[in-house]
Every structure is written in structure tokens, then in C-alpha cells.
Chains A and B, each alone.
Chain A
Amino acid sequence: MDYIQPYLMLSSILFSMGIYAVITRKNAVAILMGIELILNSANINFIAFNRFGNFNTLDGHVFSIFVIVLAAAEAAVALAIIINLFKNIGTVDVDQAREMKG
């Protein structure tokens, strides 16, 4: 497209939905999925601005790579934690995980 607005719209829609998922969902993995959505929306923004801004370098792309890498690392660690949580209390319902007891 020739104008930036659709991309930004898309990014904001994804962002809102990600926020909704993080706030609302009970399952820890579902929350993780929401986080992924948020990160993706940020990526779209980076790339879109890099395309439509006055750049002759590809800073936005590099940033985007980094975001993806970090998302991966974070997802790995998060899932490790979730699996540990599941092992400990037998469920991944975040509402059941409010005690700081062993």
C-alpha cells in the first residue's frame, strides 16, 4: 500500500487484542500467546515506519530481528517456568498460583 495507516491500524488491533488476552485469560499458555501477539504488533510498527519514514538504512529491520530473537528466548524460558508450575501445583491456572508457597 502507499500509505502507512493500514499497517498501523493492524498493529494497534493486534496490540489491543494481545492486551485483552493477557488481562483476561486464565491459562498461562494463553497469556503467553497474548504476549506473542503484542510483540508481533510492535514488529509490524517497526517495519512499517522503516518503510515509510525517511530512512536510507534498515534500522527498523534490525530492531525487528532482535525483537524476534528476544521473543524466542522469552517464550522458551516462559514455557520452562509453566512446565515447572504445572509440575508443582498440577494446573496452569494463574488464579491458583497466587500463593507464594512452595
Chain B
Amino acid sequence: MREILQITSFLFLPLVSFIILIFWGKRFKSHSSTLALGLIGLMVLNSIILFIHTLSHPHHWPLEQSFEWFSTGNLSISLGYYVDNITSIMLMVVSLIGFLVHLYSTEYMKGDPRYSRYFAFLGIFIFSMNGILLADSLIMMYIFWELVGLSSFLLIGFWFEKDKPPLAANKAFLTNRVGDIGMFIGIMILYFNVGSFNINGIINGVGAMNPALLTVAGLLVFMGAVGKSAQFPLHIWLPDAMEGPTPVSALIHAATMVAAGVYMTFRIFPFLTPEALSIVAIVGAITAFGAAIIAITRNDIKAVLAYSTISQLGYMIMALGVGAHQAALFHLVTHAMFKACLFLCSGSVIHAMHHSLHDLNDNDTDPQDMRNMGGLKDKMPITHATMLVSTLAIAGVPFFSGFLSKDAILAGTLSYHHMHHGWTILLPLAGFGAAMITAFYMFRLIFKTFYGKPNNHDIYKHIHESPYVMSIPLMVLSFLSLAFIFTLNLNPLHGHGWFTHLIGHVKHVAGLDMHLVEDGIHHAHNLAMYISLLVATLGIVISVLFYYLKKVDVEKVSNFFNIVGLYSLSKNKFYIEKIYNTILYKPFFMQTKMASFIDWNIYDQKIVDAWGWITLKISKYSAISDYSILDQKIIDGTSHLVQYISSKLRKTQSGIIQNYLLGVLAVLVITIIVINQI
């Protein structure tokens, strides 16, 4: 019982926060944050307790509980939780980052008219995210999957008075839906072939399935992850989702919701066939490399971070594809920490820019554009320091967590190539290439924002550091981006520690020999480490050259690259939006217009109105017939008939008694005759 309470508190604490703040938030006003912080704080404590329990009792796992929700006929849907090491790690991550974002938002969102509703939406987001993490069956995960999409929609479109947020929210939700279609079909294929929605049940039951069908089902479920984790080709919503408040971007679109796709893929990893996994790896690689290239030419801070997120998610998916599932989860956790830190730092910068522009009464300049920043390191020291730490982490510099996790992934790709040869060389190439480009553009961001001379002196004068409430989460998260945290070993090159041990091994049931994979990763480890060190250094050096020392003319280089059109490709985001526009949106709208034309001009005016016309005609003729036939002929006719008959019958009342007597006699005689006959 205590255990059930502990686990379900992850669900009902944020839900309670949501319900109270949605209905009675107006009364709390600025105290809504206190209530939300309190409840989420309780949840964090709970997650820490659970995590410590995990560390100390490695054999008490997994915790499972499920109860039947409803059943119709043969179909029975049950809800329940499945908690093992990975779940407790993820719960810890979500709770911690959720708590820090709540704390940060108390200052960031101060003065917003819908303050309480913001915290309510954060509450329902955490509720849904925990639901995904705790889910023991694919159906339950799907339910919370949709809820997370809803929360994301509510939060992206939070400032709906502006033009862009509602459109961005729609785009996010719809793109997610496209992925969810595949996911649902995949779940159903699995259900009808294996007979269970429960993940463990499916893992145990797929042995009997046709491998081709299993590949298809696996890929379809993976499609949900493509949508949710913004992989190519459904990545288009994540850059637009930056219209939401920055803490929301930190929580949802960097650390947790987009990681849900990776988590789900991790859970279904056991039954993804090698063919499916190769496709997963390709998708991940394309995403990782492509997004990195696009990030080079972005000028908005949050846009750079958005594409960086897409790129890192590509890494995680690629890791799962090549079989390095431990590396994927490792990178997910480290990425959550440093990406959340990066977003919150950028939020701090944007917050300071906002205040400065407000003081200058300037409403036109974009506070998020890096071309308006520069040289902020003296004015915002804490933000600068924490952002630098996180950037080092994401660039894959030793002593920082990102190095370890990225290294593990790249080792995985090398070993995959070693096993399969041929075209798979592209995977490590993409991985290492993206690593270099990542280092390059992240340092570009740092240099453009914090170093050099300020681009706009007026703005620079009014900048000041953010309050402690916002700085403390930054400090906590940057601290958690150090390598030391995950290995408890001061040796920067030692990749395995308590964390990797905790993740453990996953048994694969669809044809992948995990021993081979792990052996390969182990062997490729060193090579990967050297190459990634080289690549990261190169990236940082080039970036320093370009942006710090300003030794190279950026214009000339971009024109050089543009000879083969590469610069434009990056600048225009590979024209993907334009392609979708022509291939998908325009034909769809044309169809809509055509359908509308058919519906209005043909159906509505000709067919439906025709009924109206027919009705009018019918009513007219009905009126005529009613009057002339019914009224005059039948009704008046009846009265005429009655008059006629009565005029004839009147003659019997002659007053002549003998006639009456005759009548009596006649009736008597006839009656007697008739009765006799009968």
C-alpha cells in the first residue's frame, strides 16, 4: 500500500496542482507559484527517496501494479505502473527539472495576467509526463502521450494574444498527431498479434510473430517517437514551439517531453527487429546532422538551441538504432541537464534584454536576436558562467557529462559500422560531423552573446543580472552537467560509473544479439574517444577563429560555401518548409477549396435548396387541393349530401299515422323473416 501511494503520488500531486490552480487560481494570484512549488517540491522529495531506494535495493525491482479500467467483450484495458531502474532515474530527472523550472518561472512570469494558469498547465504537463514514464502498457502510454501533446499545445500557445503562438501550438499538436497515427496503428498491430497491450507481455509474446510484420509494427510505433521527439521529417514544429515562454521551452522542449520519444523507443527496443533498428539509426543520423547544419545560420538564441535539441535527439535515436541503448539513455539524462540549463540561461539573457528594452521604451527590437547582444559577460556573470559550463558539456569537452554520453553513442556507431560495413559508414560520419558542427555553433552562440563589443550600446547600458530565484536553477543544473556526477570518478576519460551500471542491460527478443553489440561497443570505445576529442577541438578552434578572434571574414566563408549552395540550404532550413508547403499544404488547401465549392455551390444551393423549392411547390399544390378539393368538394359536399338526404328523409315525417303504422308493420314482418332465415 505504501508503495502504491508513493508511486501514484507522482501522478496525483501534479494533478492536484493543476485542478486547484485551474479552478481557484484567480484567488491565489501570485501565490499560485507557492502552491505549485510546494506540491512539486513534495514530488521531488518523493523521487529522491525513490531514487535512493533504487540505489540501495537493486533487487527489489521492478515494481508493478495494474488494475483493470474497463473491458468490452474480449478487449480489456488496464492501467498500471511499471517501475524499474530506468523509470526511477527518469522520474528523478523530470521531477528535478520540473521543480527548477517552477522556481525559475516564479520570477520569469511575474506580472503575467494568467500567472496561475501557467502553473496549472505546468502541473498537468508533469502529470502527463509522469504518466508516460510510469506506464506499463502501450495503451496507457498512448493516453498520456496525447495528454503531453495537449499540455505542450496549451503552453506553447500561452501568449495567445500574439499572432504566432497559436499557430505554433497548432503546428506542434498536428505534427504530433501525424506521428501518433503511426503509433496507434503499430500498437493495434501488436495487440492483435500478441494479445496484450502490456509492454512486458508484448516483449514476451513477439517470438511467434511474423518478423516482417513485427518490423512494420515496430516502425509504426517508432513513428510516434519521430513526431514527439522532432525527428526528420516531423521536426518542423520544434523551432516554432520557441514562441512559448522560455521556461516552458526548457522543460518541455529540451529536457522532458521530447525525451519521451526516446524513452518510448527505449522501452520498445527489445522487440525492434534489426531492419527496423537500421531505419531508426538512419532517421537519427539524418536528424542529427541536418539540424546541426541548420543551426549554424540561426540568429535567434532560442532557435539555435531548438535546432541543437533536434540534433541531440537525433543522436539519441541513432544510438538506439545502432543498439547502444545504454548510451542513448545516458545521453538523454545528461542532455536534459545541460539543455535545460542552456535554455534557462538564454531565458535569463532574454529577460534582461526585455527589461532593458522596456526601460528604453523600445517595442520593435527583437530581444532574442543575437545581433542585438554582445559583451554581456561582465554584466551577467552568473549567467555567463553557467552557460559556458553547459556549452562545454554539449560540445563534448572532457570533464563534462556530454563528453561521456556522446562518446558512448559514437562508439556505438563505430561498432555498428564494424559489424555491418558498407553504407553504415555514413552513421559514424554523420555522428562525428554533427559533433564538430555542434561545438562550432554552440561556441558561436557564446561568443556572439557574451563576448566582443556590444552591438547596441543603449541596450547594453540597461542590462543587469537576473535575480537569485532565476540564477539558482542555473547553478544547480550546470553543476549537474559535470562528468563527475555521473561516474563519481575524477578521471575524465572513464565512461562507466554508477549511472551506467544502474541502467543495466536490456534483453532483446527480436533478433539482435546484445552480447555482440556490447562487445563491439566496448572495443570501439577508445577509437571513438580519440576521434570525438579531435572533432570537438576542431570545432571549438574554428569557432574561436571565426567569432572570438574575428580572424576570418564570416561573409567570405559563407559565400564560399554558397558556391555549392550549402549556405543557402542552411539558411533556408533545407527548404523543408517550402517543400512541405508545395507538396502537402497547397494541394490540401486546394482540395479543401474544391470540397467547399462542391458543398456550397452544388450541394447546398442546388440540392438542399432544391428540396426547399420542392417543398414550396408541394405546399402550394397541397394548399390548392386542400381548398378546392378537400374543403369545397368533400367537406361542403358532405354537408350538401346531408341536406339532400335529410330533405328526402323529411318526407317520412308526414304526420300521417297510417304511414307510421305501415312502417311498423313492415319492420316487424321483415324482422321476423330475417330472423327466421338466420
Contact = CB atoms under 8 A, between A and B. Distances in A.
Real complex partners, A and B?
yes
Interface of A: 19, 22-24, 31, 94-95, 98-99
A31 B665 CA distance: 16
Given A94-B658, A98-B654, 15 more contacts: A19-B665, A22-B658, A22-B661, A23-B658, A23-B661, A23-B662, A23-B665, A24-B658, A31-B658, A94-B656, A94-B657, A95-B656, A98-B655, A98-B656, A99-B655
List 8 tightest A-B contacts by C-beta distance, closest first. A98-B655, A23-B662, A23-B658, A23-B661, A98-B656, A95-B656, A22-B661, A19-B665
Interface string B648-666: 0000001111100110010
Contacts of B657: 94
B651 to A, nearest CB: 13
B294 to A, nearest CB: 120
B663 to A, nearest CB: 10
Nearest to B659: A23
Interface string B635-657: 00000000000000000001111
B654 to A, nearest CB: 7
Contacts of A23: 658, 661-662, 665
8 contacts: A22-B658, A23-B662, A31-B658, A94-B658, A95-B656, A98-B654, A98-B655, A98-B656
Contacts of A19: 665
A24 B656 CA distance: 11
B253 to A, nearest CB: 112
Nearest to A31: B658
A75 B8 CA distance: 118
A19 B658 CA distance: 10
Nearest to B658: A23
B640 to A, nearest CB: 29
A14 to B, nearest CB: 16
B665 to A, nearest CB: 6
A26 B609 CA distance: 79
Contacts of B655: 98-99
A75 B661 CA distance: 19
A31 B655 CA distance: 16
A24 B662 CA distance: 9
A1 B656 CA distance: 43
Contacts of B656: 94-95, 98
A31 B661 CA distance: 12
A35 to B, nearest CB: 11
Nearest to A26: B658
A31 B658 CA distance: 10
A61 B17 CA distance: 119
B71 to A, nearest CB: 92
Contacts of B665: 19, 23
B670 to A, nearest CB: 15
A23 B655 CA distance: 14
A95 B654 CA distance: 10
B647 to A, nearest CB: 19
B618 to A, nearest CB: 58
A99 B656 CA distance: 10
Interface in B239-253: none
Nearest to A24: B658
B299 to A, nearest CB: 122
A23 B657 CA distance: 8
Contacts of A22: 658, 661
Nearest to B662: A23
A23 B665 CA distance: 9
B388 to A, nearest CB: 133
Contacts of A94: 656-658
Contacts of A24: 658
A98 B463 CA distance: 129
B624 to A, nearest CB: 50
A24 B658 CA distance: 7
B21 to A, nearest CB: 100
A23 B654 CA distance: 14
Nearest to B661: A23
A94 B661 CA distance: 13
Contacts of B658: 22-24, 31, 94
B518 to A, nearest CB: 131
A53 to B, nearest CB: 23
A24 B665 CA distance: 13
Which among A19, A23, A31, A98 has the highest number of chain B CB atoms within 10 Å? A23
A22 B661 CA distance: 8
Contacts of B661: 22-23
Contacts of A99: 655
A98 B657 CA distance: 8
A95 B655 CA distance: 8
A31 B657 CA distance: 11
A95 B656 CA distance: 6
Nearest to A25: B658
B664 to A, nearest CB: 10
A86 to B, nearest CB: 17
A22 B658 CA distance: 7
A86 B612 CA distance: 80
Contacts of B654: 98
Contacts of B662: 23
A102 B608 CA distance: 78
A98 B655 CA distance: 5
A26 B657 CA distance: 11
A102 to B, nearest CB: 16
Interface string B100-116: 00000000000000000
A51 B379 CA distance: 154
A21 to B, nearest CB: 10
A97 B430 CA distance: 133
A18 to B, nearest CB: 12
Interface string B468-489: 0000000000000000000000
